[in-house]
């Protein structure tokens, strides 16, 4: 028995078919609709809700947990839980415009490319100079490698005085008679679990020209890396299914960047890619299951130099795609990028670096020695698992303060508030603790324990004690911070604090012996360092030593793109880093529990 | 108007079609028939004769030059001259079985491979040893490079304890779970202008297992390299047309070798290739026109390492194809092979090396300095341009002596004489000069100048004064050595003698200061050194210093196949060699003229 589903999305309408009992989420994903399902369709994140019309079934108990009565009445259901048993009409919400926090602190990057487009003129051959054409080209370009395809082209070129050679290190990537097109661009790409950011750089000047960023389309298969790996494991062709949309989205991003800047994708010759180890595996279509299971072993961590056509990336086909090296399964190439950005290989003293994303990767160097670990912070700071959580997009509450007994907040782009992003969340926790809304254990106080002015903010949301952040008059929706949300933040900040402690113990340093604390990650750039210290995510004595470097991973990718020494530096750094596995570290478990409170 | 041609060949019959006026040679070649046309169809070698039945046209003047009356009566015509203007029956002679002289003098080769098939077992991953799988494989095999395709395979292998890695130098060529097959073979290939020889070697032992040799199928497009280049220039898709049959023939040779030795082509992992520079260009489908025209510049001379699938060679797809480096357009990788064989980089004293084939390549080393040149000897010693010339095949007269006023000769395999190969030709010239049949100018004496017993051998063949070598009672045909043949030999030996003189002058050496004279080339192995000196092809004082090394090029390919130092040695040798262009060398012209006489 098959049913017809009429899907309305972005003003368009389409009819698709499915079989009786099919999960609606699966049907929609299979038909190319972009539905968020952070939890991988397990019914535990509530993000995949859609509005249905027609003969709709009553909500299940899982759905009731994530939908309020008004939503249920309007026909909202969790698509991962809904088994189709009738014809339906599905109304999908318009996708938000995404303006990810992509800023970086470092503005001037040295340019010293390992790639060049050179016009050469071969000396006329004479009986006294019978040097073969290939050798002449090698000599003119200081290269010594060519592939068979380019070698075969040479006979048809040799009458010409003006050849254009695309050279990468000691290799000829392409040789042609084309007139030199001055356009010479490169891309630095940060493939995050949540968002992908593509920076377009002019390779002639080293200047950043434009940015394109978008949600990682894999997030419909799960918000975190483990859900995604589970998806690849549980579904036939899961690895390909996981790889295809992110490649497609990157190629679309490239096209957009090119057309917005009056160039073509053929003008783009190089791409450097950072991302956590699992994102890089999945981008390359390489099964990452072994990273998900103990003992968490990646397939590869070394840097890679690949051809665009091999990877399926649509830049100039003769160009080069470079993956930065990763450190381990849970300290990825993004962290290598951070380390390049802070010049960890040249830094004096003792330095701490924290990249806060879904995982909190922590690096500590004491002179030559570098230690790293990855604390499973969870995606709280990226908006997942928080009732009204959202990424750092337009309308996200990004700062929060209590002044004169009133809640003051700002949103990204000053739009109407739509939810809470990581920096706003952290501010809220700090302010509520500072002003006595919550105990140091994280518990929201009972009504009778609160001051009079505070009582009006106390409320309930879905059987959870909650603090009401916005009223309806501010926005379309009422936004709450629930007890559960606070617990999520405690888990996240506790993990990071414990990770820092482990590295300090390992290096036998006290916190106050650290010279600098770098905070990386899109989120990290926007947090209030004082609040991060106030809630003891970072030792309080370090407040004045914090340097926010923004998207250090992305900046690292740019350095790798522009500077030929970066590859060797990255390999060197990788070799120096000792990774400490926290999942079985007893000391970490103890520290973790101790670090939960405020 | 189209005609039907019935072709009878090797007991089979096929009807093909052609248009009025089509050249018969072209029609036959296009239909896959293997017709010799050394001159490239110019009507000047006479080798493309075929027997016709039906309404046959009278022979043209060009045809009369190459056909005797009996042949004409029997319907023989030159297919390159014959324009089809009626239905025809064509009878093609059965192809001879070819037993090329493939011997070498060096029997024991050091084996020190750069390729290995290794069974490895990865240490169990633990939380204390989270090294990524790729790194573990690198460590176990002492490699550091892998391609994307193999990288993608690793996840599906990682549960296994027993992996098989095919490794070449620092690269992983293949990784699998296959059980190790002990079969491990390699091929050394000598792509000659006239013949191609494939040696099958067991890479486990270094022992030569079998040989397969065949005429280079390109010879139907011309006997010499220049005719073949002209063909590629004058015909659409000429380069592909030239490449395809030799690739196909090599692949067939590989198949034959494999099946004769109870292995499959998948058991063959490596191939090393020598050949003159033009043969290597054409084998790779690279236009060699620039080598044919002054200033004779090759497209490439460097050594190449390619994938079997790139080249189109059917051995194990993960294997490696290596081309030895060439020196210049006319001193090819075959000569580099010779130089490896004689260990020129370690030889003390002054040494001369001559590889006699269609060209005579000459190398002289004086200590560290190495000079080379190429003397256009013409294909006389390979049987072309000689009236009854043939390659060194079954039935070829390979030695010749006058004893007690009688001609004594031997043939290859003691078969009935079918023609004269290079070594027999050289013996004849020497013996006829020694016994006063010919003057030192090369002229066959007038009848009245000859002794009585000699007169019966004097004859005419097609308006040429000729010496009758065999009588009908010896063989199917009467074999003659004509005045023109002697002139061809004079041109050939004169070129070589002059080339030697030029290198001696360059190094300021006298002939008697040379310590050794190596003679390479299939032909070189079978000549009588005394006769080569007697006719002054080689300075007479060197007779006792001659060392015949057989197919030094092929042996060089075997060394390159078996010994990992050979590549670096060959590159080193190449860098040391100074090439001297003879075509514009005035001194050479003078020496050449002086060297013609006996």
pLDDT in tens, A263-273: 999 999 999 99
Tell me the chain B residues in contact with residue A152 when contact means C-beta distances shorter than 8 Å.
284-286
Measured between CA atoms, the residue of chain A closest to residue B295 is A127
Q: Is the dihedral of CA B557, B562, B564, B566 positive or negative?
A: negative
Looking at A134-148, A389-403, B429-443, which range is the least confident one? A389-403
| CA angle, residues A44, A49, A52, in degrees to nearest 5 | 140
- pLDDT for the residue numbered B94: 55
For residue A12, pLDDT over 80 is answered with no
- Taking an 8 Å cut-off on Cβ atoms, the answer to whether A151 and B583 are in contact is no
- Token representation of residue A237: 């062709």
For residue A107, pLDDT over 50 is answered with no
| Location of structure tokens 């140091």 | A440
**DSSP state, A78?**
E
Q: Is the dihedral of CA A500, A505, A506, A512 positive or negative?
A: positive
Q: Write the pLDDT tens digit of every residue in A236-269.
A: 899 999 999 999 999 999 999 999 999 999 999 9
Residues of A with CB under 8 A from a CB of B: 125-135, 148, 151-152, 154-156, 158, 284-290, 294-302, 304, 306, 310-311, 328-329, 579, 581, 583-584
Pick B134's closest partner by Cβ from A134, A154, A302. Answer: A302
Minimal CA separation from B297 to chain A, in Å: 5
Confidence of residue B38 (pLDDT cuts 50, 70, 90): low
Confidence of residue A105 (pLDDT cuts 50, 70, 90): very low
What span, in angstroms and rounded, lies between the C-alpha atoms of A363 and A344? 10
Average pLDDT over residues B238-257: 97
Do residues A554 and A197 make contact, with C-beta atoms less than 8 angstroms apart? Answer: yes
Pick B152's closest partner by Cβ from A127, A135, A285. Answer: A285
- Taking an 8 Å cut-off on Cβ atoms, the answer to whether B133 and A300 are in contact is yes
- pLDDT for the residue numbered B473: 64
Residues of B with CB under 8 A from a CB of A: 125-135, 148, 151-152, 154-156, 158, 284-290, 294-302, 304, 306, 310-311, 328-329, 579, 581, 583-584
Residue B374 sits at φ, ψ, to 5 deg, of -130, 120
Q: Write the pLDDT tens digit of every residue in A153-203.
A: 999 886 667 899 999 999 999 999 877 678 999 999 999 988 899 999 999
Helix (H, G, I), strand (E, B) or coil at B270: strand
Looking at A41-45, A287-291, A456-460, A481-485, which range is the least confident one? A41-45
Q: Write the pLDDT tens digit of every residue in A319-344.
A: 999 999 999 999 999 999 999 999 99
Q: Write the pLDDT tens digit of every residue in B55-89.
A: 888 888 778 877 878 888 888 888 888 889 899 99
| Location of structure tokens 């203007």 | B85
- Taking an 8 Å cut-off on Cβ atoms, the answer to whether B299 and A134 are in contact is yes
Q: Considering only CA atoms, which of A357, A395, A314 is closest in space to residue A527?
A: A357
Average pLDDT over residues B130-135: 95
- Taking an 8 Å cut-off on Cβ atoms, the answer to whether A286 and B126 are in contact is no
Mutation choice for B interface testing from A122, A127, A237 by most B CBs within 10 A: A127
Pick B130's closest partner by Cβ from A304, A311, A329. Answer: A329
Pick A581's closest partner by Cβ from B130, B135, B328. Answer: B130
Minimal CA separation from B325 to chain A, in Å: 12
Q: What is the dihedral of CA A537, A539, A542, A543, to 10 degrees?
A: 50
- pLDDT for the residue numbered A394: 83
Q: Write the pLDDT tens digit of every residue in A509-530.
A: 999 999 999 999 877 778 899 9
Report the percent of chain B where pLDDT is more than 90. Answer: 66
Confidence of residue B343 (pLDDT cuts 50, 70, 90): very high
Q: What's the complex ipTM?
A: 0.80
Pick B133's closest partner by Cβ from A297, A306, A310. Answer: A297
Confidence of residue A538 (pLDDT cuts 50, 70, 90): very high
Looking at A3-17, A270-284, A448-462, which range is the least confident one? A3-17
Tell me the chain A residues in contact with residue B328 when contact means C-beta distances shorter than 8 Å.
130, 132
Question: Parallel, antiparallel, or unpaired: how do β-strands B464-468 and B458-461 relate?
Answer: antiparallel
Average pLDDT over residues B508-522: 93
Minimal CA separation from A540 to chain B, in Å: 32
Q: Considering only CA atoms, which of B547, B310, B571, B597 is closest in space to residue B439?
A: B597
Pick B295's closest partner by Cβ from A125, A302, A581. Answer: A125
- Taking an 8 Å cut-off on Cβ atoms, the answer to whether A294 and B127 are in contact is yes
- Higher per-residue pLDDT: A382 or B399: B399
Centre a 10 Å sphere on the Cβ of residue A254 and count the other Cβ atoms it contains.
22
- pLDDT for the residue numbered A103: 41
Give the orientation angle of helix B238-260 with respect to helix B225-234, to 10 degrees: 130
- pLDDT for the residue numbered B137: 95
Q: What is the dihedral of CA B19, B25, B27, B32, to 10 degrees?
A: 170
Q: Considering only CA atoms, which of A340, A339, A367 is closest in space to residue A353?
A: A339
- pLDDT for the residue numbered A72: 86
Q: Could you tell me how many residues make up chain A? A: 598
- pLDDT for the residue numbered A283: 98
Task: Identify the helix (H) or strand (E) that includes residue B25.
Answer: helix B24-30
- pLDDT for the residue numbered B103: 41
Minimal CA separation from B423 to chain A, in Å: 34
Minimal CA separation from A327 to chain B, in Å: 10
For residue A30, pLDDT over 80 is answered with no
Confidence of residue A38 (pLDDT cuts 50, 70, 90): low
For residue B475, pLDDT over 80 is answered with no
Pick A299's closest partner by Cβ from B128, B132, B290. Answer: B132
Chain mean position to CA B546 = 22
Mutation choice for A interface testing from B171, B288, B290, B567 by most A CBs within 10 A: B290
Looking at A83-97, A327-341, B513-527, which range is the least confident one? A83-97
Beta bridge partners of B97: none
- Taking an 8 Å cut-off on Cβ atoms, the answer to whether B154 and A298 are in contact is no
Q: Write the pLDDT tens digit of every residue in A433-487.
A: 999 999 999 999 999 999 999 999 999 999 999 999 987 665 678 999 999 999 9
What span, in angstroms and rounded, lies between the C-alpha atoms of A98 and A561? 25
> Burial of A61 by CB count in 10 Å (0-12 exposed, 13-18 middle, 19+ buried)?
exposed
Helix (H, G, I), strand (E, B) or coil at A413: helix
């Amino acid at each position: 028995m098959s049913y017809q589903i009429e899907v309305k999305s972005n003003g368009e309408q389409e009819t698709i078919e499915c079989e009786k009992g099919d999960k609606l989420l699966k049907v929609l994903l299979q038909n190319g609709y972009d539905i968020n399902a952070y939890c991988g369709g397990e019914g535990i994140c509530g993000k995949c809700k859609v509005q249905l019309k027609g003969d709709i079934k009553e909500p299940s108990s899982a759905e009731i947990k994530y939908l309020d009565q008004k939503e249920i009445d309007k026909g909202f259901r969790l698509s991962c839980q809904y088994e189709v048993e009738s014809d339906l009409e599905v109304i999908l919400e318009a996708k938000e415009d995404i303006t990810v926090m992509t800023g970086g602190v470092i503005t001037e990057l040295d340019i010293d490319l390992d790639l060049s487009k050179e016009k050469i003129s071969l000396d006329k051959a004479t009986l006294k100079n019978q040097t073969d054409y290939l050798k002449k080209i090698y000599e003119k370009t200081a290269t010594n490698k060519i592939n068979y395809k380019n070698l075969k082209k040479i006979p048809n070129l040799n009458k010409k005085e003006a050849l254009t050679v695309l050279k990468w290190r000691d290799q000829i990537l392409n040789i042609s008679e084309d007139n030199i097109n001055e356009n010479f661009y490169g891309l630095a790409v940060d493939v995050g679990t949540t968002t992908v950011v593509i920076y377009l750089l002019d390779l002639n000047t080293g200047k950043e020209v434009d940015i394109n960023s978008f949600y990682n389309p894999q997030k419909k298969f799960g918000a975190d890396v483990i859900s995604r790996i589970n998806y690849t494991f549980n579904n036939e062709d899961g690895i390909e299914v996981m790889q295809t949309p992110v490649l497609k989205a990157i190629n679309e991003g490239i096209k957009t960047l090119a057309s917005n800047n009056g160039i073509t994708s053929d003008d783009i010759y190089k791409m450097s890619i950072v991302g956590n180890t699992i994102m890089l595996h999945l981008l390359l279509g390489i099964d990452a299951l072994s990273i998900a299971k103990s003992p968490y072993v990646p397939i590869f961590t070394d840097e890679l130099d690949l051809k665009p056509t091999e990877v399926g990336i649509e830049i100039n086909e003769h160009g080069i795609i470079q993956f930065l090296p990763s450190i381990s399964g849970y300290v990825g190439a993004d962290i290598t990028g951070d380390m390049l950005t802070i010049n960890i290989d040249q830094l004096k003293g003792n330095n701490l670096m924290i990249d806060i994303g879904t995982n909190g990767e922590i690096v500590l160097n004491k002179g030559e020695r570098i230690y790293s670990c990855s604390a499973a912070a969870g995606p709280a700071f990226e908006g997942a698992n928080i009732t009204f959580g959202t990424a750092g997009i337009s309308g996200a509450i990004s700062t929060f303060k209590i002044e004169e007994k009133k809640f003051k907040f700002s949103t990204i782009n000053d739009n109407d508030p739509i939810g809470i992003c990581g920096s706003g969340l952290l501010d809220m926790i700090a302010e509520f603790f500072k002003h006595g809304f919550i105990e140091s254990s994280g518990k929201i106080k009972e009504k009778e324990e609160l001051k009079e002015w505070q009582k009006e903010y106390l409320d309930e949301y879905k059987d959870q004690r909650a603090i009401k952040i916005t009223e309806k008059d501010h926005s379309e929706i009422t936004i709450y911070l629930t007890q559960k949300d606070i617990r999520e933040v405690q888990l996240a900040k506790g993990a990071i604090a414990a990770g820092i402690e482990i590295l300090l113990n390992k290096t036998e340093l006290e916190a106050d012996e650290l010279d600098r604390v770098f905070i990386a990650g899109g989120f990290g750039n926007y947090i209030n360092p004082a609040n991060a210290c106030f809630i003891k995510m970072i030792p309080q004595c370090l407040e004045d030593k914090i340097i926010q470097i923004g998207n250090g991973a992305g900046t690292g990718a740019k350095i790798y793109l522009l500077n030929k020494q970066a590859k060797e530096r990255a390999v060197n750094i990788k070799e120096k880093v000792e990774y400490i596995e926290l999942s079985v570290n007893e000391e970490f478990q103890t520290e973790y529990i101790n670090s939960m409170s405020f």
